[in-house]
Amino acid sequence: MKKPCFPLVFRRSLVVGDCLCLPAIAHDDPNAAKRQARFEASVRASNRFTAVAEELIENKGREGIAQATLEKQRWLLKLLGTDFGRRPVTDITPQELLHELRKHERRGRLEATKQLRSFASRVFRYAVATARAERDPAQLLLGALTTPRVKHFAAITDPVEFGALLRAVEDYQGDPSVMYALKLTPHVFQRPGEIRQMEWREIDFDKAVWMVVSVNVV
């Protein structure tokens, strides 16, 4: 039976007359099939949500982002769960992400839910920027979650209640950056804004003094 001929140029083809014939063994090479399978497995692994998120966090670390911020992002990634983290970023739908976020919302963790959506959005945008996704499903969920209600508390003046507050701060096991900020606050009596904007250059460790830069004070 005569081999089919095609007027195209292929590598490792056999010239017959004015056209080229495809070699019959190209697609039957078991080693090539194994290499292709390994390559596809590697691509799938690098496209998982956890892999993309960890790559993003690593890049932020090289950019000089504070260690506390990096730890918070790792904490948020852990909150999203292992099963969700194994999903390819291209396969995750807004409905699937919303289902994951609702788990935390039902537990009353409204602020954490808000931060999780924002973190997921950054991961998806990074995936888009690195040609591993085409959209950010987290962006479509704006307005779908309950907005945390800010509640202001009166100052504690009773010594017994203040002692209870200090013990509660000491027992706090949430986000590391919040934990250390809470423990630092009673020692410096500064507002949250000043503590968030504190810089190492403002600290004199030899004199145990923190010089608050006036530009940071609102």
In the chain, CATH 1.10.150.130 covers: 49-141
> What pLDDT was estimated at residue 27?
54
Q: Above 60 in pLDDT, residue 67?
A: yes
Was domain 49-141 assigned CATH 1.10.150.130?
A: yes
Judge contact between 172 and 179, C-beta under 8 A: yes
What does the block give as tokens for 123? 């991961």
Average pLDDT over residues 144-155: 83
In whole angstroms, give the CA distance from residue 24 to residue 3. 9
pLDDT in tens, 161-187: 989 989 998 888 778 888 888 998 888
Predicted local confidence at residue 36, as pLDDT: 67
Question: What's the half-sphere exposure (Cβ side, CA atoms, 13 Å) at 209?
Answer: 6
Position 1 pLDDT exceeds 60? no
pLDDT band at 86 (very low <50, low <70, confident <90, very high): very high
Rounded to 10 deg, the angle between the 67-79 and 49-62 helix axes is 170
Rg of the chain over CA atoms, in angstroms? 28
Q: What percent of the chain has pLDDT over 70?
A: 79
- The dihedral over CA atoms of 92, 97, 100, 106, expressed in degrees to the nearest 10, equals -170
CA distances from 207 to 42, 71, 204, 210 (A): 54, 29, 6, 9
Eight-state DSSP code of residue 6 = E
pLDDT(154) > 60: yes
pLDDT of residue 8: 46
Start-to-end C-alpha separation, the chain: 87
